[in-house]
């Protein structure tokens, strides 16, 4: 009888801690596109959203949209430079002109810039490739700020 009790306790013990282990074991990936997009969404919410809006639609004649623009979908070096240096050119996007200035965000870490640009390039209906930390690092190193 005693032995059975011990065995039962052991079984319950294993079930309990086995279950706990299974619950806490969920792998959290720190690399890969999915987590870059997830992190980028947070950077976007904290910094870019105020001007470019949650849906990337911007504000007419003030802050341009980030939906299917040549800047967002195009050359990654140019796009990274916009975040590092800001942007102060008069541009016409989807028939609207924008002459407000975008402030530089060179205080962001390479990974944060990679994440936020990956998020932007894969959100709002955009389907462009990932931006990596290495790419940002390279552009920052070669970047001569005015």
Among 36, 39, 52, 135, the residue binding ligand HEC under the rule CB under 6 A is 52
Q: Which stretch binds ligand HEC (CB under 6 A): 16-24, 47-55, 123-131, 135-143?
A: 47-55
Among 66, 84, 136, 139, the residue binding ligand HEC under the rule CB under 6 A is 66
Q: Considering the rule CB under 6 A, would residue 139 count as an interface residue with ligand HEC?
A: no
Q: Considering the rule CB under 6 A, would residue 47 count as an interface residue with ligand HEC?
A: yes
Q: Considering the rule CB under 6 A, would residue 91 count as an interface residue with ligand HEC?
A: yes
92-119 burial code (b ≥16 CB/10 A, e <16): ebeeeebeeebebbeebebbbbbbbbbb
Compute the distance between CA of residue 139 and CA of residue 51 in angstroms, rounded to an integer: 24
Compute the distance between CA of residue 56 and CA of residue 67 in angstroms, rounded to an integer: 6
Structure tokens at 18: 């086995």
Compute the distance between CA of residue 129 and CA of residue 118 in angstroms, rounded to an integer: 7
Evaluate the CA torsion angle 71, 72, 74, 77 in order and state its sign: positive
Q: For ligand HEC, which is the closer residue by CB, 25 or 123?
A: 123
Among 14, 33, 88, 106, the residue binding ligand HEC under the rule CB under 6 A is 88
Site residues for ligand HEC per CB under 6 A: 47-48, 50-52, 63-66, 69, 71-72, 79, 82-83, 87-89, 91, 93, 98-103, 105, 116, 120
């Amino acid at each position: 009888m005693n032995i059975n009790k011990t065995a039962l306790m052991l079984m319950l013990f294993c079930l309990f801690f086995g279950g706990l282990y299974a619950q806490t074991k969920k792998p959290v990936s720190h690399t890969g596109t999915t987590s870059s997009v997830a992190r980028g969404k947070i950077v976007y919410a904290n910094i870019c959203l105020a001007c470019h809006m949650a849906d990337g639609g911007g504000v007419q004649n003030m802050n341009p949209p980030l939906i299917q623009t040549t800047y967002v979908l195009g050359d990654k070096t140019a796009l990274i430079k916009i975040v590092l240096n800001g942007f102060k050119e008069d541009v016409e996007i989807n028939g609207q002109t924008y002459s407000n200035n975008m402030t530089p965000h060179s205080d962001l870490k390479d990974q944060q810039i990679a994440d936020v640009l990956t998020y932007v390039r894969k959100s709002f209906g955009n389907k462009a490739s990932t931006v990596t930390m290495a790419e940002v690092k390279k552009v920052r190193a070669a970047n001569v700020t005015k």
